[in-house]
Structure 1
Amino acid sequence: MPSRTFLCLCLCFLLFVLSSSAQNSVLDSLRNELKTHPKKDTIRVKLLINTAWNMTYDTPNEAFPYVAEALDISNQLDWKKGVGFALRQEGTLYYSMANYVKAMESYLKALKISQTLDPVFIASLHNNLGNIYAELKQYDKAISSYEEYLKLSKKATSTINEINGLTNLGLIYTETDQIDKGIQYIEEALTLAKAENVDFYISSIINNLGLAYKRKKDYPKSLEYYNEARVLAHDQQNSHVEAATLNNIADINMLLKEYDAAESNSLEALKLAEASKALDWESDSWEALSIIYKEKGAYEKALNAYQKHIVLRDSVINEEKRAELTRKEMQFQLERQQTIADDELKRQQLIKKGLLIGGIFILLAAIIGYFLYKKRRDAIEQKNSADFKSKVSETELKALRSQMNPHFIFNALNSISNYMETHDIDTANEYLAMFSKLMRSILENSEKKWIPLAEELELMELYMQLESLRLKHKLTYSIHIDPSIDSEDTLVPPLITQPFIENSIWHGISKKESEGTITINVHKNTDSLVISIEDDGVGRAESEKNSTKNSMGIKITKTRLDIINSLQKLQSNFKISDKEQGVKVELTLPLEVRF
C-alpha cells in the first residue's frame, strides 16, 4: 500500500463578503465584474482574491497574477486587511500545489501583520500552519496549531471554522493511533457540517471517517464511507478529494486482495491527479500500481511504476525543503521576539522620562532595571541563535543521510532490469523481494539519529547478500562481534558503514577475477567503538589505475562525522590503510548505549 496516508485537512478560507455575493460564486461572473470595475480600490482587491480562491483546486498556477495584483493595490492603499487576505490566499495556492516551503512563508508573513486584524482571520492562519505541520508529520506542532484555531473559532462562534478545527484534530489523533478519540472529533465535525449544509466539507469529512475505520481495520465500514465521499466529490467536481478517495479505495482493495478492482481505482485516481497536477496523489497512485503489478506477476510494469513513484515522491518534498521550513520558522520567531523586545525598550524609555520628575533615586533604580533587562534579553537572543544553528545542523545531517541512498537504489533497479531482460524472472523476483526489504528498513531508519548496532549489521548483511547475488555469488563475507559488546544496546549512526563496504565491493572485489571476502570485526577500545572492514580485493593502487572517480559516499560520511562531532563534542573518525592484498578501514565511533 502507498506509504503516504491521506489527510484531507480542511483549509480555512474566509472570503470577503461582497454586495453581489450570489454572482461572485461563479468564476466567470467574478472575471466579468473585474472587467467592469478597473478602479484600484478595496472592491477590486476583494474581487481579485475571490477569483483566485475559485481557481485554487483547478488552475492554481493561473491564480497567482490575481493575488499579485491584490497585494500591489493593498500596499498602495496601505490597507493591511487586504495585504493579509492576499498573503493567505497566496499560501493556499502554494499549499494546493504541495509547495509547503512557499506556503509557510506566505502564512507567516500574513501572521506577522495580523495582530490588528479580525481574530477569526488569525485563527485561520493557525489552521493553515497546522496543515503544513501535519503534512510534515510534526504532529505535536500540528495539534498545538489546531487547538489554538479551535479555541479562537469557538470564541468567535464561527461554526464553519469549528468544523475545520474538529476535523483536523480528529485526523491527527487518528494518525497517531488514538483512533477512537479521532473518530469522536470527526463525527462531531460531520454533525455540524450537515446541520450547516456545508457540502464542500462534507465529502472531505466523510472520506476521513473512512480513513479512521481503515486504521481500525473495519474495512466494510471504511469502504462505505469512502464510496459515499467519492460520489459527493464527483458531484462537486472536486478532483483532489475524488483522486484521494479513489487511492484510499484501492488501498482497501489491496488489503482484501482484490487486485483487479485496485488497479482500476488506482488508474482512475492517477488520471484525475495528472489532470489537476497533484504530484502527491499522482505519486501515491504509481506506488499503489507498483504493488498491484508485483502481486499480479507483471514485474516489468511494477518496476516502471515504482521508478515513476520515486521520481514524483522526491519532487514533492525533500530534506532541503524541510531545512528551509525550519529556518523560516526560526527566523519568524526571532523577528517576533526582537519586535517585542524593541517595543518593551520604548516603553522602558518612556517610564524613565517620567521617573526623572520623581528624583534621582527612582531614576537610578530605573537604569539598573533597564540594564538587567537588557542583559537577560541578550542572553535569550544568544540561546535562540544557538538553538537555531543546532536545528539547522541537525536538518543538514538528515539531508546528508538522504543523499547516500539514490545511487545504490538505481544500481539495484538496473540489476533487476537486467535480470528481466535476460528472462531470469525468478532471480529478478528474489532480488526485488530482498531489495524491497532493504529499502523498507532504510526508510524506517532515515529519520533516526542512532540505531542499534545489531540493526546496522543486519542492514549491511542484507546489502552484501544483494551485491553477492549481483556478482553471481563471487562475494563472501563474515561478521565478528566482541562478546563484551551488547549489539542490541550499542548505538551507531544509521548506514555509517555502508560506503566503506560499497567501496570494498565496487573497487576491490568486483575487479578481482577470483572470489573475494569482506570481514567485519567490532570491538571496544576504552570509551570508543571500533568497526574494522577488511577486503582481499585488488587494492587501492590497482583500482585507481582504472578509475579517477572519488567516492561520494566516503565524502558524505566524513561530513556526517564532522557534524556529529560538532553537535555532541565527540571524536569520531576513520582510517584507510593498504594491506598486502586488499584494503582495511578502521571506523572509530563514541561508545553510545541505549540505557
Structure 2
Amino acid sequence: MKTKLFLLVFFMVSCLGMAQQTVVDSLKTLLDKKEVPDTLRTIYLLNMAHAIATTNKPKATQYTQEALKIAKSNNWNVGIAKAYRQQGNVYYLKSDFTQALQQYHRALDAAHFEGKNLFDATVYSNIANIYADMEEFDRALENYSKLLQIAEETDSKPQQLIAIFNIATVQMDQGKDSLAVENLQKALSLSEEKPLQIYYPTVCNNLGLAYQHLEDYEKALLYYDKALKQAEIIEDKATMAIVLTNMGKIYGYQEQTRKAETTLLKSIDLNAETGALDREAESWLALSETYQNQGKGTEALAAYKKYIVLNDSIQDREQQVELVKKDLSYEHQKEQALSQAEIDRQRTLKKTVILGGSGLLLALVVILVLYKKKRDAVEAKTVSQFESKVDKTKLKALRSQLNPHFIFNSLNSIHDFVAKNEKTEAKAYLVKFATLMRQTLENSEKEAIPLKEDLELLTTYFEIEQKRLQHKFSFKITVDPSIDVENTLVPPLILQPFAENSIWHGISQKTGTGHILVQVQKKEEMILYSIDDDGVGQLKDATKNGKTNKSYGMKLTKNRIAIINKRNSVQGHVRLIDKKQGVRVEVGLPLQLAF
C-alpha cells in the first residue's frame, strides 16, 4: 500500500486544466457528430479513453480498440502508436502489467513519425512506472533516465518535471528521502508554471511524505495542505484521498486524535468512491490505531476488521504481480538459454565444416540430434526453475491469505468478549491478542519457523479462545523428547485452522466442557502432528448446521501442504478421522532442521 504517487504520462495535454466531467461531456458531444474525419475521431476516442480510464476501464478499453481499428484502416502511424500506448495505460490501471508492457512495446515499434522522441519519452516513463510498482528499482530508474535525457534534449518542461518527480519517488522507495526532497523541490518549481499546475498537488503530496519520513511533521503538513487545496480545485479525488490519509496519520502521531479521526473518515469515503482498495485499507488501519489511542476498543476492532477484509482482496492482486515478475523473468531466462544453445550449435557446425570430407553429412545429422536434445534439456531446466519460483510465490500467497483469515476470526472472538465483559478484563484480553497478532504478522513472511515458536503461537491462540468461551475447554500440548523444538523448522500456523475447527465446530457445540490434546512426534524423516478433541464430531455438527464443515483456513492449509509435497517430492498428508466422541486430525510434514 502506497501513499505516494507516480505520474502516469498521457498524451491529452489540451484538457489538463479542465474538470474531468466537463472533459467527458465535451468529448461525448464531439463523438456524437456524424461527419468527423477519421484522424479527429481517433483523437477524440483516445481522449475519452483517458478521461474515463480510472472510473470505467471496460469502456475505456472499448474506446481504445475502436481508435486502433480506425488508425490501422488509415495506416496512420501516429494514431496506431498512441492507441497502443493508451491500451497500455488502461492495462496499467488494471494492474495487468504483462499486457501493459506488451502494449507499450508495440507503441514504441509503431512510432515512426516526426516528434517520435517525445512520444518515446512518455512510453519509457510508463514502462518505468510499472517496474517501480513491481519494486524493480534499477529498471525503473533506467527508463526514467531515458525520459529525462529526451526531455532535456527537446527542452520539454512537462517531461522534465515527470522524470525528475518519478526519479525522486523511486528514491523515496529506496529510503533516500533527503535526496528525494532535492529532486521534488526541482519538480515543484516546474509545476508552479501555469501549464503544469495540474501536477502541483501530486508533487506537494510526495514532498509532504518525504518530510514525514524525515519526521519533520510541520513541513509535511504544510505541503499536504497545499496539495489538498489544489486537488480540491481540480476535483482530483484520488489525490485528495491520499493526502487526507497522510495528514490523518500525522495527526495521530501528534495525538490530535479527534482531528485524525475526522480526516481519516474523509479519506476512507474518497478511497471507496475511487475504488482504491489498497489506499482504503491503509486508511482503515490508521483509523483503527486512532480509535485505540482514544480508548475506543469496539470501534478500533471494527475498523481493523474492515482493514483485514480489504487486505485479503489486495493479497490476490499482489500474488498476480509476483507471478507477472516470475513470468517476465522466465521468458528472459528462456530466451537467453536457448540463444546460448543456438550459439553452441553454430560453433559446432563451423568446426564440422572445417573437417570436410565424406563424414560431413553424418556429422551434421549427429550434431542436429545432439543439439535438439540439448535444447530440450535447457528448456526443461528453465521451465522447472520457473515452476519452482511460482510454487514459492503461491505458498507465500496462501500464507498471506491465511493470516487475515486467522486474525479476522480472532477479532470476532474479541468483539464478543468486549461486548459481554467488563473493561478491565477486556483490556487484558486485548493485550494478549496484540501479542498474538504481532507474532502472527512477523511469521507471515517466513517459509518456516522453529517448532518452539509455532507451538507458543498456538498456545496463545488457545488461551485467547479459552477466555472467550469462559474456560469451556482445556488443552495440552506434548512433544516427543527426541525432537529438538528449537532446531526443527515447520511452516507457520500449519495447525491453527484445525485447532480453530476443534474449538468452534466441536467443543463449542457440545454440552459441558471439552479437552483438546495436541501431540508432536517424529517418525523417520517426518514430523507427525495430531489434534484430538472430544467435541460433537463432524457428522453431528453437519447435522446441526445442515452442511459439512470445511473451513476456509483448513482448505488453505491443505493447499499449502500440496505445494510443499510438490516442491520436496514428499508425501505430507492431512487426515480427518471421526471418533466416537470428537475428531482426530493427523498432519504429516517432512522433517526440516535449521542446522
Alignment of 1:81-480 (within 5 A): 81-93=78-90, 95-96=92-93, 99-101=94-96, 104-112=98-106, 114-117=108-111, 118=116, 121=119, 124-125=122-123, 127-132=125-130, 134-135=132-133, 138-139=134-135, 141=136, 143-158=137-152, 160-187=158-185, 189-190=187-188, 193=191, 198-315=196-313, 317-319=314-316, 322-323=319-320, 326=323, 330=327, 334=331, 377-404=375-402, 408-419=406-417, 421-422=419-420, 424-480=422-478
Specify the SS of the correspondent of 1:456: helix
Change over 3 Å in CA distance of 1:113–1:585 after alignment to 2: same
Change in 2 beyond 3 A, CA 1:375/1:180: farther
The alpha carbon displacement at 1:251 in A equals 0.4
Instruction: Write the distance in 1 (CA, Å) between the matches of 2:584 and 2:193.
Output: 72
Task: Give the C-alpha shift of residue 460 in structure 1.
Answer: 1.3
Say if 1:62 and 1:528 are closer, same or farther in 2 by CA, change over 3 A: closer
Cα drift, residue 285 of structure 1: 3.1
Tell me the SS of whatever aligns to 1:570: coil
Task: Give the match for residue 551 of structure 1.
Answer: 550
1:490 and 2:484 matched: no
Give the Å deviation of 1:234.
Answer: 2.6
Q: Is the 8 A contact 2:315 2:401 kept in 1?
A: no
The residue type equivalent to 2:327 in the other structure is M
Pairwise mapping of residues 9-48 of structure 1 onto structure 2 (< 5 A)? Answer: 9-15=6-12, 27=23, 30-35=27-32, 38-39=35-36, 41-48=38-45
- Alignment gaps of 5+ in structure 2: none
Deviation (angstroms), 1:377 = 4.7
Relative to structure 1, is the Cα distance of residues 38 and 570 closer, same or farther in structure 2, using a 3 angstrom cutoff? farther
1:262 touches 1:292 (CA, 8 Å); kept in 2? yes
Flag the 1:241–1:555 CA change in 2: closer, same or farther, 3 A.
closer
| Aligned with 1:516 (options 505, 514, 517) | 514
Structure-2 change in CA distance of 1:572 and 1:228 (3 Å): same
Moved more, 426-435 or 85-94: 426-435
Distance 2:529 2:174 in 1: 37
Deviation at 1:291, TM superposition (A): 3.0
Rate the CA distance shift 1:574–1:32 in 2: closer, same or farther, 3 A. Answer: closer
The whole-number CA distance in structure 2 between the counterparts of 1:369 and 1:496 is 51
- Render the CA deviation track for 1:396-426: whole Å, top value 9, x for unaligned: 3344435545665554444444445547555
8 Å CA contact 2:541–2:549 kept in 1: the answer is: no
| 1:587 corresponds to | 587
Report the residue type matching 2:82 in the other structure. Answer: F
Conserved? CA contact 1:146–1:165, under 8 Å: no
Aligned equivalents of 2:329, 2:125: Cα separation in 1: 17
Counterpart of 1:593, as a letter, is: L
C-alpha change, 1:485 and 1:165, in structure 2 (3 Å) is: farther
Name the amino acid aligned to 1:457.
L
- Which amino acid is the alignment partner of residue 464 of structure 1? F
Contact 1:147/1:165 (8 A) holds in 2 = no
Q: SS state of the match for residue 151, structure 2? A: coil
Distance 2:447 2:520 in 1: 20
SS at match of 1:198: helix
Q: Which amino acid aligns with 1:588?
A: G
Q: Percent identity?
A: 36
Match of 2:573 in 1: 573
Counterpart amino acid of residue 9 in structure 1: F
Preserved contact between residue 308 and residue 408 of structure 2 (Cα < 8 Å): no
- Partner-residue secondary structure (3-state), 1:100: coil
Q: Which one-letter code corresponds to 1:52 in the other structure?
A: A
CA contact (8 A) 2:538 2:549 kept: no
Contact 1:146–1:168 (CA under 8 A) maintained in structure 2: no
- 324-333 vs 243-252, which deviates more? 324-333
Unaligned runs of 5+ in 1: none
Contact 2:82/2:107 (<8 A) preserved: no
Distance 1:148 1:550 in 2: 53
TM-score with structure 2 setting the length: 0.79
Distance 2:539 2:29 in 1: 75
SS at match of 1:88: helix
Report the counterpart of residue 70 of structure 1 in structure 2: 67
CA positional deviation for 1:71: 2.5
Counterpart CA distance in 2 for 1:325 and 1:42 is 39
How far residue 371 of structure 1 moved from its aligned partner, in angstroms, is 7.0
Q: Secondary structure of 1:477's match?
A: strand
Give, in whole Å, the separation in 1 of the partners of 2:539 and 2:274. 55
Q: Does structure 2 retain, via aligned residues, the 8 Å contact 1:104–1:325?
A: no
Count of residue pairs brought into register by the alignment: 573
The CA RMSD over aligned residues, in Å, is 4.5
SS of equivalent residue, structure 1 residue 495: coil
Residue 52 of structure 1 is aligned with which of 41, 46, 49? 49
